Amino acid sequence: MYRVKVPATTANLGPGFDILGMALDFYNIIEVREREEGLKIEIEGLGADELPTDENNLAYQAMDYLFSRTDYSPAGLEINLINQIPLSRGLGSSATVIVGGLVLANCLAGEPFSTDELLNFATKIEGHPDNVAPALLGGVVISVMTEDGEIIYKRLDVPKLSTVVGIPDFKLSTTEAREVLPAQVIFEDAVFNSSRVALLIASLMSKDYDLLATCFEDRLHQSYRQDLVPGMDSVIKYTKEAGALAVALSGAGPSIIALTLNQEESVGKTMVQTFARHGIEANYKITKPAT
């Protein structure tokens, strides 16, 4: 039997839409073993009663994607998923299953593919690299898609900060959250974001976190998603006032991610209380970046 533990991820980190992502220290676990025939999938934990246990299961589909590119064809498969990451909350649960499925299938097939090839497969399945890259590699990852659709990446050390995730009690599909984005953005907004991304990378590399609040500003996606995440702007504003160094929508939302040196409890409680003022139940999770 092969087993992998794949971290949650927070994508975008404010301005780095489809470019930046960071692994977080909580995990989904996936196991696989070959069996004599047929497909058997068991799911424990979050989403156990709603995720498919047949060929529509994303872990199986990722495995099948890899097997179809090899000569290897298992007689049957038993897959176990132990889920600790909430679904459709902007915390990369799909990415864990895609990455986990590919890594396990690669093990079963005798490791014909490199890590870089697995990342390219994962990006093709997910459609964007910023969750699958840190899920596969850990840390903070800058992912660049070439015009040929290949991924070039650089991995940075994780910041020595705590992360607090405010997790609303509703799901938001990434597809829906991408449909509200404009086909074009104005030049000034593109410059605004590229300046913040550049500053953010420099701050992370020099471990100088004084400017993180400015680094996390965004004009490419968050405001367009405001209506999908009631209270988003207020949660970001009040969470900063509660002492967080930087706050942003986590991936496509609806969760909000805060980076903080301390005051984790008050940051988390502020997120929950502010969501509640907008009629949204939420909880918070204190964690840290994962290497």
Contact range with ligand HSE by CB under 6 A, out of 151-159, 173-181, 228-236, 272-280: 173-181
SS3 content of the chain, % helix, strand, coil (to 5): 35, 25, 40
Question: What is the per-residue binding string for ligand HSE in 206-235, x denoting contact by CB under 6 A?
Answer: ---------------x--------------
Of the pair 6, 41, the CB lying nearest ligand HSE is at: 6
Q: How far is the CB of 233 from ligand HSE (least distance, A)?
A: 17
Question: What is the per-residue binding string for ligand HSE in 246-285, x denoting contact by CB under 6 A?
Answer: -----xx---------------------------------
Q: Which of 143, 174, 193, 274 binds ligand HSE (CB under 6 A)?
A: 174
Of the pair 126, 264, the CB lying nearest ligand HSE is at: 126
Total binding residues toward ligand HSE, as defined by CB under 6 A: 14
Cis peptide before 112 (omega within 30 of 0): no
Residue in 157, 158, 136, 155 with CA at minimum distance from that of residue 144: 155
Pairing of strands 256-260, 246-249: antiparallel
Distance, in Å, from the CA atom of 8 to the CA atom of 200, rounded to the nearest integer, reads 21
Of the pair 79, 137, the CB lying nearest ligand HSE is at: 137
Question: What is the per-residue binding string for ligand HSE in 234-253, x denoting contact by CB under 6 A?
Answer: -----------------xx-
- Letter for the amino acid at 40? K
Structure tokens of 245?
A: 């160094």
Pairing of strands 76-83, 20-35: antiparallel
Structure tokens of 160?
A: 């020595």
Which 8-state DSSP code applies to residue 209? Answer: -
Which residue number places its CB atom closest to ligand HSE?
Answer: 251
Annotated binding residues for ATP, as ranges? 86-96
For residue 18, state whether it binds ligand HSE (rule: CB under 6 A): yes
Angle, alpha carbons 91-106-103 (nearest 5°): 15
Is there a contact between 259 and 161 (Cβ–Cβ < 8 Å)? Answer: yes
For residue 178, state whether it binds ligand HSE (rule: CB under 6 A): yes
Of the pair 13, 109, the CB lying nearest ligand HSE is at: 13
For residue 162, state whether it binds ligand HSE (rule: CB under 6 A): no
Q: Three-state secondary structure along 137-168?
A: HCCEEEEEECCCCCEEEEEECCCCCEEEEEEE
Q: How far is the CB of 11 from ligand HSE (least distance, A)?
A: 4
Instruction: Catalog residues that contact ligand HSE under the rule CB under 6 A.
Output: 11-12, 17-18, 90, 128, 130-131, 174, 177-178, 221, 251-252
